[in-house]
Amino acid sequence: MQTLSVPSPRVAVRASWDTQQRLSYNPNAPRKPPKNPNTTSKPKTLPTVTLSVATTRSEPSVLDLLKRPSSVEEIVERDEYYMGYERWLPSPPKVQKPRSAFNAASLAYIGDCIYELYARRHFLFPPLNIEEYNDRVTAVVRCEAQDALLQKLLSENYLSEEERDVLRWGKNIGSAKTRTKRRAGAAVYNRASSLETLVGYLYLTNVKRLEEIMLKLGFTTDSSMQLILEEAKSKQDSG
């Protein structure tokens, strides 16, 4: 028996090796958002540093901030009544002896409010934006400004002996170390508190004397200074 031999086909095997390392595929990994072809990456630039020389500017004193034109006091005639109202301040509670009913801290508490009311009212005219209002009022109500105004009253011997006694009483207010007290110092802080105590005391006992003192310090106490001036000017022009 003859056997036929069938030649086996030749199979060529080609192999290739990837020399770059590939990470294994993770189906749970978050996908990167597609890049926007319209946006071009800008080269990072180092921030520019501008050297500026600090210049010292002298701030106006509290007395300069409260100054009004000299013609104001000459034109305006003060009256206890304006537009049918006796006073512009809210009526104080009736207290016979405030020093017996309240301590110095309580009077300084209400005095701080009344003092700031005078300051806000003083800067109401001419009309300003809120930021400028706040800047001017803050410059007057800070304890350093209150201390300067108190020194003005004491140096001119404007206060009575009773009022000086209230100042000494309010100067001894005990308070914790606040940020304002650390900034201005204990002595300045205590003197400012004594002025607030005097304002609160006079608000409860003698509003007329309070307005005299605030006018002496430079605060305007008329209901509307600008309207009164315009009315007085119009009368002068018509006459």
Is 112 one of the catalytic residues? yes
Catalytic residue among 79, 112, 135, 222: 112
Q: Print burial letters for 103-124: b (CB count within 10 Å at least 16), e (below 16).
A: bbeebbebbbebbbbbbebbbe
- CATH number attached to the domain at 62-87+102-238: 1.10.1520.10
Please state the domain extents for the chain: 62-87+102-238
pLDDT digits (tens, 9 = 90+) for 93-112: 888 889 999 999 999 999 99
233: Cβ contacts below 8 Å, ≥ 6 apart: 75
Which residue, chain included where needed, has tokens 């003083």? 122
* C-beta separation of 202 from 114 below 8 A: no
Q: Which whole number is the average pLDDT over 222-231?
A: 55
pLDDT digits (tens, 9 = 90+) for 210-221: 999 999 999 975
* C-beta separation of 186 from 169 below 8 A: no
pLDDT digits (tens, 9 = 90+) for 160-192: 999 999 999 999 887 666 777 778 788 999 999
Three-state DSSP at 82 gives strand
pTM of the model: 0.62
